[in-house]
Amino acid sequence: MNPNGTSTTEAPLVWSRYKFPDTFIRYASWITVFVFLAYCIEYLNIPLDRLFGMFGRMGDTLANRYYPPDIEYIMDGEYMEYVVETIQMAYLGALFGLIMTVPLGWCASYNMTPSRRYVYPVARLITMGCRAVHEMIWAILFVSILGFGMLPGVLALTFFCTGFAGKLFAEEIEAVDMGPVEAMRSTGANLFQAMAFGVFPQIRVAFTGIAIYTWDVAFRAATVVGFFGAGGMGWYLKRNVLQIETERVAAILISILVLVMISEAVSAWARNKAMEMK
């Protein structure tokens, strides 16, 4: 007998988290996603039956061709020079990108943009365009315009970093407390003053973090931007890939891995430091 006094012979209530139209939509969307994925496999002619044999072959290839890595090759002085160039390329690209980001992020933040109707969409479009085009495509375009060398690499990274940092920066500006800004505006400060004294102190730490992170990401991209002729280690990689010197390729990959791990550790340390200074 339950407290309400109704008989217990009624069908027990079935509890479910979602009611009819919701459940239907949920199941339908899951099924659509999976059917689409199955269709993708069909469309791209992926040999599912051979898939498991491939893993064995992958192991074979790794063991026979890529092992042992030719460590002596990357200990060479000339290679080290290229590593240094890669690092330089990365931070120049990140620096130029960040310099471009400051006005762009300002214009692309909805709350601080000088003109919501004209400047904001344009700035958003530029940021999005920079981000949407992959750094490799930028590199190829600049190589074809400016010729081989590190300048196209630096420019490609600049555009990449502009897109990457611009979005984060604009989001950071949009998240600030508007109180100080309004207070300043009401006492007659112009937009620039409000930006410099109302917004900038609030985003300073976040901007430092974004800058360090951008450098980290730029370095990762810089290791391969040379692949299409834009200088740095990528060119070494490409050469050895084309010559099928797989043991050297393995060594270069290991060097990239080590460098990226170092840069990641440095960037994590620097970001923690920046946070502490808050």
Partner 1 sequence: MTEEVHHLPLMTSDIILERRRNSRIVQTGVCLVLVALVAWSVQVTIIDDTDWERMGSFANVLEATNRFIGIDFALFKDLIVPTIETFMIACLGTLLGVIICIPAAWFGAMNITPFKPVTYPIARMMMTLSRSIHEIVWALFFVAVVGLGALPGIFAIAVRSVGFIAKMSAEAIEDIDPGPVEAIRSVGGNNLQVLIYAILPQILPQVLGVIIFEWEINIRRSAILGLVGAGGLGLVFFRQMNTFNYHGVMTVIIAVLGLILLGEAVSHRVRRSII
Q: Which residues bind partner 1 (CB under 8 A)?
A: 36-37, 40-41, 43-47, 54, 57-58, 61, 85, 88-89, 91-92, 95, 129, 132-134, 136-137, 140-141, 144-151, 153-154, 220-221, 223-224, 227-228, 231, 237, 241, 246, 253, 256-257, 260-261, 264
Count of Cβ atoms closer than 10 Å to residue 133 Cβ: 15
Least Å distance, CB 199 to partner 1, is 22
What is the C-alpha separation between 189 and 235, in angstroms, rounded? 52
The number of beta carbons lying within 10 Å of the beta carbon of residue 196 is: 13
- Closer of 241 and 266 to partner 1 (Cβ): 241
Q: Smallest gap, in angstroms, from Cβ of residue 115 to partner 1?
A: 23
Task: Give the list of residues 6+ apart from residue 58 with CB closer than 8 angstroms, or none.
Answer: none
CB of 136 to partner 1, least distance (A): 5
Q: Which is nearer to partner 1, 71 or 183 (CB)?
A: 71
For partner 1, the closer CB: 113 or 246: 246
Cα 181 to Cα 174: distance, rounded to the nearest angstrom: 12
The answer to whether 228 touches 140, Cβ cutoff 8 Å, is: yes
Cα separation of 156 and 80, whole Å?
A: 22
SS3 92: helix
Q: Which is nearer to partner 1, 30 or 197 (CB)?
A: 30
Q: Which amino acid is at 244?
A: I
Closest CA to 230 of 82, 101, 122: 82
**Roughly how many angstroms between the first and final C-alpha of the chain, as a whole number?**
63
CB of 148 to partner 1, least distance (A): 7
Residue number, 3 or 52, with CB nearest to partner 1 = 52
Complex with partner 1: residue 30 or 192, whichever CB lies closer: 30
Asked whether 258 and 219 are in contact (CB, 8 A), the reply is no
The nearest distance, CB 224 to partner 1, in angstroms, is 4
**C-alpha 27, offset from chain centre:** 33
Smallest distance, partner 1 to C-beta of residue 164, A = 11
Q: Six-digit token pair at 139?
A: 């590199």
Q: Helix, strand, coil shares of the chain as percentages rounded to 5?
A: 80, 0, 20
Q: For residues 123 and 140, which CB has a smaller minimum distance to partner 1 in the complex?
A: 140
Cβ 37 to partner 1 shortest distance, Å: 6
